[in-house]
Chains A and B, each alone.
Chain A
Amino acid sequence: DGGITQSPKYLFRKEGQNVTLSCEQNLNHDAMYWYRQDPGQGLRLIYYSQIVNDFQKGDIAEGYSVSREKKESFPLTVTSAQKNPTAFYLCASSIDPQREGSSYNEQFFGPGTRLTVL
């Protein structure tokens, strides 16, 4: 089955520690994305990557870092510089966002990781 996996499902971190969230896809999609969701709010884009070895900041990149060394993987590191890291984190992928048409731009989402900072 093709899809997107995120691990772990729940993650607890002590204040001041860095933590890395995993995202893997076997859909052969070019683009991958990280979103943050807070209660009662929509999704906000943290980082995105349209091809391997390239990524761009989204709307709320401060305190986060990413890498895209492989097409299938797009890990997100939440650093100690992120002031309010407790949230639900969602990873997504799409075929090719540079092409016109909703089929290329439709994003497929993983099940999410809930991060709690203690």
Chain B
Amino acid sequence: AQSVTQLDSHVSVSEGTPVLLRCNYSSSYSPSLFWYVQHPNKGLQLLLKYTSAATLVKGINGFEAEFKKSETSFHLTKPSAHMSDAAEYFCVVLISTGRRALTFGSGTRLQVQP
């Protein structure tokens, strides 16, 4: 079985402070992992993806994620939050066999306080 768990449904930070959004996955195979962002009433935009070339993945808008196989984690970070970062973030894992569909976490809503 393959699943993904986002450990926090809501995260609130002050503008200019670091952001940490946590994600753990379970997979019987070497996973493909993604982070997507969704602004209100919009579609999803890819932030970054794990390609197995490097464990530290850099994405758009200053976001990064580190793949830690020993911890089965793929946490999303950003050194300094901006007001425009307020959105819903989804950690996503690819099912590697069969239909090869994406499995989405339940999402983390990030609030950024001025």
Contact = CB atoms under 8 A, between A and B. Distances in A.
Given A42-B105, A45-B101, A110-B43, A102 B34 contact: yes
A98 B94 CA distance: 12
Interface in A3-41: 4, 6, 33, 40-41
Contacts of B50: 102
B56 interface: no
A90 B44 contact: yes
Contacts of A110: 43
Taking residues whose C-beta sits less than 8 angstroms from the other chain, chain B's interface range is 20 to 34
A68 interface: no
B42 A112 contact: yes
Interface residues of A, number: 29
B100 A42 contact: no
B42 A111 contact: yes
Nearest to A91: B43
A109 B107 contact: no
Given A41-B106, A105-B32, A112-B42, 17 more contacts: A40-B107, A42-B104, A42-B106, A43-B44, A43-B104, A45-B101, A56-B99, A88-B41, A90-B44, A92-B44, A98-B100, A102-B32, A103-B49, A109-B43, A111-B43, A112-B41, A112-B43
